Structure formats: C-alpha cells, structure tokens
C-alpha cells in the first residue's frame, strides 16, 4: 500500500460504520441467508457421524447474526445434539454485540459458547500452544480471509482440525465480482501488504486445484447500490468508498488520479450496471465447501 494510505482496518470505529452502510446498501446478508436456508442444510445433515455432541468453530463471526442462523439450521438437522461453539472474532464491539444477541434468544440452551477475542492467527497459535487435540465437525469462515497474512496456510490449518465427515465452509467475494475486477486493476495501490485483502474465491480455487483437492462451490448472487459514492462529500458515499477500497478516508488521502481512476473503474460495466439513475455494483459471493483432509 502506498505510504500515504492507511488501511481502514486500523480504525475499528470507522470500519464498523463503513461496514454498516455496506450492509444497508447491499444484498449481502440476504444472499447469505438464501444459501444458509436452501443449500447449507444438506451439507449440515452429513456432518457429525451420528455423534451426540458437535464441535463448531466460527472464524470472524462478527455480531453473530449469520452464525445463529447456521446454528438454527444445524439444530433442525440434529435436534438431539449439543454443540460447543468456538467464536473467533478480534473486535470487542462485535463480540459484545454477539453476546447481546445470544442473550435475547431463549432457544440456544443446546449451545455452549466459547468467546475468543482474537484473530484467526492468534487462535491458531492458542490452539497449538494448548496442544488441543479435539476434532471439529463444522468450521465456517465467512468474509474473513481478507484479514490474514496467508490465506492458504489459514485454510490448511482449519481444514486439519476437521474430524470424520467434518466440513469447512469458506465464503468470499467471487473472482468474477466487481471486487475482483477492482482489485486486479488497483491491487498495488489499494491492497494492504500486511494482509491478503484482495483475495477472492478465484485465488482459493486456484490453490485447491494446484493441490488436486476436491471441493464444492456455490455462486451467491449479490449486488450493492454505490450511487452515493459519486456525490462528492456525501457522508455515506465516503464511508462506502472507504469500504470498497479498504482505505481510511480514501477521498481525502488518495491522489486525485487514484480517486478518479477508482471511481471510473467502479462505474465500468465489468464492475457495475447503471439503471434508473442508480449505479449497482456486482457484489457476488461464492461459497466453497471442503472435507476433512484425506
């Protein structure tokens, strides 16, 4: 990343504000819910190998809304089963939001929550330091591989924890999404070299293919209204631009040339469609399912 540009992840407060606008302007959570309620149940039905107790890890769980929907689907498929649920999330605010959500749900007595306010890397170090040997039945990593140094190593570690019939679910933006196009064009200017910010499912599938590893994948269509990004000084537009570029205060810290180039790219037909005066960005996601390492 150019030295004058700071990563949005360095300012948790602004990141959370930007993320909230992103959720309001995108169909991301809806497309995740469609996947969880329509495709995931069949996958969850095959885990556990008849056990009465399941171990689950959520990596980058955020405020927990999506986690709890997955737990609900799991409970429908395995109603007699108890669950140990390791929540891995570095943001204290998000962990607190998750705890509040759990406290408001009366039907979660089958779940024992373990709160880990840490990054995926810190959790891996903790797991290895404690020499934990238990096997895990279901691990989900939704929209979090952007924030690790080495996505391949992270995937390999968590896959190594799977027990018999265990499943690892990875969801990221699709390589064919507007994000993929934006990052391919401006990776050196925008992407933080300390993390793998510009990773897509295309990168993960290339790695898996190179190792001859089998996986299932599902396209999750999603879009985002980015019209406000093109009104200079619009507060929500500026927050969205920060989120799209992952740069803190992008409009005021990027060079005029970079800002103009990014805005032009966001409008490009490879990234967005324009309809009824609105600019609609291709926010497609993709889900990848991996089995236990053979």
CA distance 228 to 231: 5
- Cα 246 to Cα 15, 103, 143, 170: the distances in Å are 9, 32, 14, 21
The reply, when asked if residue 283 is annotated as ligand binding, is: yes
CA distance 144 to 9: 12
**What is this structure's pTM?**
0.91
Alpha helices in 78-141 (DSSP H): 92-103, 120-129
Domain ranges of the chain: 8-43+51-291
CATH of domain 8-43+51-291: 3.40.50.150
The values of phi and psi at residue 287, to 5°, are -105, 135
- What is the chain's pLDDT, residue by residue, as a tens digit (294 residues)? 444 688 888 898 999 899 999 999 999 999 999 999 999 999 999 998 889 999 999 999 999 999 999 999 999 999 999 999 999 999 999 999 999 999 999 899 999 999 999 999 999 999 999 999 999 999 999 999 988 989 999 999 999 999 999 999 999 999 999 999 998 899 888 877 777 778 999 999 999 999 999 999 999 999 999 999 999 899 999 999 999 998 999 999 999 999 999 999 999 999 999 999 999 999 999 999 999 987
Concatenate the DSSP letters of all residues of 194-258 into one string.
Answer: TTTTT--HHHHHHHHHHTT---EEEEE--EEE-GGGGSTT-HHHHHHHHHHHTBTTHHHHS-HHH
The reply, when asked if residue 116 is annotated as ligand binding, is: no
Asked whether the beta carbons of 204 and 151 are under 8 A apart, the reply is: yes
CA distance 31 to 222: 6
């Amino acid at each position: 990343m150019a030295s004058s540009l700071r990563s949005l992840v360095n300012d948790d407060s602004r990141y959370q504000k930007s993320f909230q606008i992103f959720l309001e302007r995108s169909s991301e959570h809806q497309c995740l819910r469609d996947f969880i309620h329509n495709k995931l149940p069949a996958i969850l039905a095959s885990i556990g190998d008849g056990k009465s107790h399941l171990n689950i890890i959520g990596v980058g769980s955020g405020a927990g809304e999506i986690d709890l929907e997955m737990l609900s689907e799991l409970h429908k498929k395995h109603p007699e089963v108890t669950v140990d649920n390791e929540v891995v999330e570095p943001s204290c605010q998000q962990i607190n939001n998750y705890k509040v959500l759990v406290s408001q749900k009366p039907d979660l007595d089958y779940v024992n929550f373990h709160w880990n306010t840490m990054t995926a890397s810190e959790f891996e170090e903790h797991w290895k330091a404690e020499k934990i040997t238990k096997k895990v039945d279901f691990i989900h990593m939704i929209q979090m591989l952007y924030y690790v140094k080495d996505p391949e190593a992270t995937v390999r570690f968590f896959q190594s924890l799977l027990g018999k019939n265990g499943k690892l679910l990875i969801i990221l933006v699709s390589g064919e999404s507007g994000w993929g196009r934006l990052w391919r064009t401006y990776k050196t200017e925008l992407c933080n070299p300390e993390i793998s910010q510009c990773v897509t499912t295309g990168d993960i599938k290339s790695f898996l293919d190179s190792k001859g590893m089998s996986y299932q994948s599902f396209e999750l269509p999603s879009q985002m209204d980015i019209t406000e990004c093109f009104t200079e000084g619009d507060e929500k537009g500026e927050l969205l631009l920060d989120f799209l570029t992952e740069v803190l205060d992008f409009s005021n810290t990027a060079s005029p040339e970079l800002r103009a180039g990014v805005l032009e790219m966001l409008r490009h037909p490879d990234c967005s469609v324009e309809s009824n005066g609105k600019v609609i960005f291709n926010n497609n996601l993709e889900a990848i399912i991996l089995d236990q390492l053979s």
